[in-house]
Amino acid sequence: MAMLAFGMVAILPLVIGLIIAAVVVAVGVAVIAASLSNAGRDADDNFCEEPVGSTDTTCPLQVRWVWDAPHTTDRKRYVNLPASFDAAMNGREVELAGHVEPRRSGETVTFNVIANAANDAEAGAATLASATATSGAEGRATVRLTLPVYGGAKFKVGGKTSHQEQPAESGELTVWRKVFYHITAMEAAPDGTVFTAPADMIPEIVAAFDPVFFELAPGTTSQSTTPYQAHLTAAQRSTLENSLKPTVRDNRSPFKMNIVMVDAADIVGEQEYTGAATAANVATPWFAHWRHESTVIHAKYQTGATWTDLTNVLVGSQPGVPSNVQVTATIPGYATGTTVNWKIKVRFRRGRAGGWGGTTGTLFMCIGFDRRASASRPTGADLQQALTHETGHALGLVPTTASWRDTDPRDNGYSLRHCGYLDTATPAQPRCVMWYMLSSAGTGPRNRFCSSDRPNDCAHFLCRTDYSTINWI
């Protein structure tokens, strides 16, 4: 019994001890539970939305600037065109948009312009209308950037809140210019020759205009035809240009050029041949046939002080050289043994024009000669040099005041000049598409605007010129 009693006595403290221990454990659990519960609230208040364990999350809460599409991607900006054509792509002034995250109003966002380190020294700066903005509804804010006109200049905008050490960079904007084209084809000639443009004509000139940041796009109306004319003199080109303008004008005017595919617009020359005949029949030398007007202006012989018309005046083709002719004639009543002065004045083809163009926006491509030689000629590549050259004139090359103009007096009568740059070969060769003559071996530099004499060369002129005031068609 005593043992039992002892035993019972002995057990009692253990039971009490267990009860105390249970109470302590219960209190401890409650404290821990309360602590965990508080920790959960802290997490909700102080942690960003990234999942636990995110390596780029710093705390406490950060509000950060994020650009909205499409300002997140690199884009072209056609600075010369009116915003009314396409507000998302055109004009020097660009509105970029973004928002703060988490989205909340009243956050101050600071902006900075980030010019591309490779920008040309001439490119100029892009400017912000305001260096800061305050986020509004949904955390949104915008900033206006004004780009310079310089083709190829590239800029980003940085935006950051006070919580960000580094700004978030927008996509890069590159200054481009765009012009529109229309193609007018002559109706077929009586001999069946057709004057449609080769399908690759425009694609062939892209490689010359990409480096100077010009894009060519078809106008809203971009094709039409005009009745056949065998040849266009300067006056006829002007008349045709004006008559075509109403059909070319559209909602892309006045940024449109009209590329008119014509038979011929060659250059006529006049020459008087003279001689002292000791026989009845006289003849001029062979010369290039001018097929658009009568060849002979006059053909006369002298009797005393009087000049009288020769007879039997004929124009004959040179055997084997069909593009050449001569004039033959007879001195009527020629007396054997006498010497008779004669003079024959003719028109001849002084030059075969590949194209004509100027600042007015109408460009003539003279393709009849090639098209008669082959229905598949000229190709786009064949026309590349002439079309690039005439478009270059339409864009103002080469100004009469430019240091790199060709100073040959030949150009003195022109409103624009040609490029005078030559390479170092012997003999020196032209190295620019704005050289005054086309090259039959037209490859390489002859197909491009010269660019190695910055800023005084054709490419840099095209880059720095403000083309927002183009007034073509």
- Positions that interact with Zn ion (CB under 5 A): 419, 432, 434, 450, 458
Q: Which is nearer to Zn ion, 171 or 358 (CB)?
A: 358
Q: What's the min distance (Å) between Cβ of 432 and Zn ion?
A: 3
Q: What's the min distance (Å) between Cβ of 435 and Zn ion?
A: 8
Q: What's the min distance (Å) between Cβ of 422 and Zn ion?
A: 10
Q: Which is nearer to Zn ion, 284 or 447 (CB)?
A: 447
Q: What's the min distance (Å) between Cβ of 430 and Zn ion?
A: 9
Residue 255 to residue 214: CA distance in whole angstroms: 12
Q: Which is nearer to Zn ion, 435 or 467 (CB)?
A: 435
Helices (runs of H) and strands (runs of E) counted in the chain: 6, 22
Phi, psi of 47 (to 5 degrees): -105, 145
In terms of DSSP H, where are the helices of 127-180?
A: none
Residue 319 to residue 295: CA distance in whole angstroms: 18
Token code pair at residue 4: 């039992």
Q: Which is nearer to Zn ion, 264 or 458 (CB)?
A: 458
The helix (run of H) or strand (run of E) holding residue 24 is: helix 2-46
The whole-angstrom distance between residue 275's C-alpha and the CA centroid of its chain comes to 56
Q: What's the min distance (Å) between Cβ of 417 and Zn ion?
A: 9
Cis peptide before 194 (omega within 30 of 0): no
Phi, psi of 459 (to 5 degrees): -65, -45
Residue 426 to residue 433: CA distance in whole angstroms: 20
Cis peptide before 60 (omega within 30 of 0): yes
Residue 438 to residue 446: CA distance in whole angstroms: 8
The whole-angstrom distance between residue 17's C-alpha and the CA centroid of its chain comes to 93
The helix (run of H) or strand (run of E) holding residue 75 is: strand 75-78
Q: Which is nearer to Zn ion, 126 or 419 (CB)?
A: 419
Helix, strand, coil percentages, rounded to 5, for the chain: 25, 30, 45
Residue 22 to residue 209: CA distance in whole angstroms: 88
Q: What's the min distance (Å) between Cβ of 449 and Zn ion?
A: 6
- Triad 145, 464, 206: Cα angle to 5°: 100
Q: What's the min distance (Å) between Cβ of 416 and Zn ion?
A: 7
Q: What's the min distance (Å) between Cβ of 457 and Zn ion?
A: 5
Orientation of helix 201-209 relative to helix 380-394, angle to 10°: 50
**84-91 contacts: CB < 8 A, separation 24 or more?**
85/251, 85/252
Q: Is 329 in a helix, a strand, or coil? A: strand
Token code pair at residue 378: 């000229």
Q: What's the min distance (Å) between Cβ of 453 and Zn ion?
A: 8
Q: Which is nearer to Zn ion, 147 or 366 (CB)?
A: 366
DSSP state, residue 90:
B
DSSP state, residue 171:
P
Q: Which is nearer to Zn ion, 338 or 415 (CB)?
A: 415
Q: Which is nearer to Zn ion, 138 or 423 (CB)?
A: 423
Q: Which is nearer to Zn ion, 265 or 299 (CB)?
A: 265
Residue 42 to residue 36: CA distance in whole angstroms: 10
Q: What's the min distance (Å) between Cβ of 448 and Zn ion?
A: 9
Q: What's the min distance (Å) between Cβ of 389 and Zn ion?
A: 6
| CB contact at 8 A, 157 and 143 | yes
Strands (E), 304-339: 306-309, 311-318, 321-330
Q: What's the min distance (Å) between Cβ of 450 and Zn ion?
A: 3
